[in-house]
Structure 1
Amino acid sequence: MAIPVHLLARFSLLESLPQETLLHLASKMSDKSFARREVVISKEQRVYALGFLLEGRLQGVDFTVDGRGVGLYFVDPGDFFGELSVVDGQKPAEHVIAAAKSTAVFLEAEAAQRLFFDNSLIAQRVMSRLTARVREVMAQRTLLGLPNPFQRLCVQLLQLARPWGKGMAIEPVPTHQEIAIMINASRETVTRAFQTLSLHEVIQRDGNTLHLLKPSFLSDVGEGRLDPPKA
């Protein structure tokens, strides 16, 4: 079922497209809501579509051979996902799950392919996303090679942070469980590490924003120049 065309204005990938094109795309789209932890895209599915997140938050995850979850990336409102399978027609490389109650719209794969291949600006945006995703995954592989979970947490916080006023912050803050699967640690380990960092005034939480008060300290611990602080 088609979706209202005005919703497409929320998606950065579709910026500057003519109204006629947006109307056509809207006619090929459908929306769906997901409960928290519900699977949005499965590695096993064979019907593909390009997804756009309207509300909520998604997380790309995969699993090790012994069944442990590994978090790969987040998808925030206005962002798109599922582009790999649309481009190459292969099964998804990872699962995408709802990290919070979410609503997404999906563009049929054939229409998405035409959008990619017939519009150089859209193709450039998709390529930029793919290269950014490769860089994120490579950085995550390097992070997982660190021997100490506290080090991995420090590096992960720096990777998630963005400029915030005169400092750095993470917004919205992932749950301890979401961070745990990103750094291959237990939720309890992450909780204890957060408590230690807060005690030493390295981080400070304000609602759904986590301020990094001492990013240089996180960097020094992550790179092994300083030992992790004691609780």
Structure 2
Amino acid sequence: MSRPTDTLVGIPLFRSLDPVELTALSARCLWRRVEAGQWIIDHEDEGTDVFFVLAGQVRVTIRAVSGREVILRDIPAGEFFGEMAAIDGKARSAGIVAVTGATVARMPAPLFRECIHRHPDVCDQVLRLLTGEIRKLAGRVNESNTLDVKHRIYAELLRLARPDGRGAVVSPPPPHADLAGRVGTRREAVSRVLSALEKEGLLEKRRGALVLRDPAALEKRVRRAMEDG
């Protein structure tokens, strides 16, 4: 149920809409508060609505045949999910779980498609998003087929890191189980690789962060492994 304070104004996808259009669009959404750990949609659900994250962070996951959970990506406030089912009407390709407490707006698929058709900027952004996700997934498939576990962990650390004066920082540091879920391995393997990087002086653990002391060296290792693979 929409309340006067519920608005899509913080969603970049709708940056081209004027205030009147945005208010009308917000009023046609259903608003929901979710707690950390709560599932918003499950893999292969039949729903086709699109969800916009107004506050908090959610996570895209799939369950492998082995039963292991694979983390595809995290979605922060300002972004959205569920657009594939809204476009093709098929079952969900992944599950979404709240990482933190979150506020989401649920938009019916026909309304989402109407926005795409009526607003060229919305359409262009959705096309760029889908293209970007295809490229990312293609890269992950290539890594999975080419790199061993150690180098997949290096690659994931580099993706998560942000530039810092002394290298690059991953903050907050992901739990070992989460990092394992991102690269398709076990927590123990992540612990071994991080410990080895610490001994080499390439990784420093600080309170609230992992510091990559020489990101270029890790990038070089990943690149060499890709070439050798």
What TM-score, normalized to structure 2?
0.87
For residues 89-139 of structure 1, the C-alpha deviation after alignment (integer angstroms, 9 at most, x for no partner) is 111111122233333221222211111121110000111111111111111
**Contact conserved, 2:47 with 2:92, CA < 8 A, in 1?**
no
Structure-to-structure mapping, 1:25-104, within 5 angstroms: 25-104=25-104
Letter paired with 1:42: D
Identity fraction in percent: 24
Report the counterpart of residue 175 of structure 2 in structure 1: 175
Q: Deviations over 1:129-172 (max 9, x none)?
A: 11111111111112212452111100111223344457433344
Q: Secondary structure at the match of 2:30?
A: strand
- Give the partner amino acid of 2:37: R
Structure 1 spans left out of the alignment, 5+ residues: 226-231
The equivalent of 1:18 in structure 2 is 18
The 8 Å contact of residues 7 and 23 in structure 2, kept in 1 or not, is answered as: no
Q: Aligned equivalents of 2:222 and 2:135: distance in 1?
A: 19
Show the counterpart of 2:138.
138
Deviation track 1:28-72 (CA, whole Å, cap 9, x = no partner) reads 112223333322222232222211112322221112222222221
What does residue 114 of structure 1 align with?
A: 114
Q: What's the secondary structure of 2:180's corresponding residue?
A: helix
Kindly indicate whether the alpha-carbon contact (under 8 Å) linking 1:43 and 1:94 is maintained by their aligned counterparts in 2.
yes
In the alignment, structure 2 segments of 5+ residues that lack a partner are none
The Cα RMSD (Å) is: 2.3
> Secondary structure in 2 aligned to 1:219?
helix
| Counterpart Cα distance in 2 of 1:27 and 1:124 | 24
Which residue of 2 is the match for residue 229 of structure 1?
A: none
Task: Work out the number of aligned pairs and report it.
Answer: 225
- Note the C-alpha offset of 1:179: 1.4
Indicate the residue corresponding to 2:221 in structure 1: 221
**2-structure distance, mates of 1:7, 1:96:** 22
Query: Residues of 2 paired with 1:5 and 1:32: CA distance?
Result: 13
Partner of 2:195: 195
Judging changes above 3 Å, is the alpha-carbon distance between structure 1 residues 129 and 213 closer, same or farther for their aligned structure 2 residues? same
Equivalent in the alignment of 2:211: 211
**Alignment partners' CA distance in 2, 1:204 and 1:43:** 37
For 2:203 and 2:17, the matched residues in 1 are separated by: 42
SS in 2 for 1:90: coil
SS of residue paired to 2:53: strand
Matched residue SS, 2:210? strand
Amino acid at match of 2:183: I
Aligned to 2:157: 157
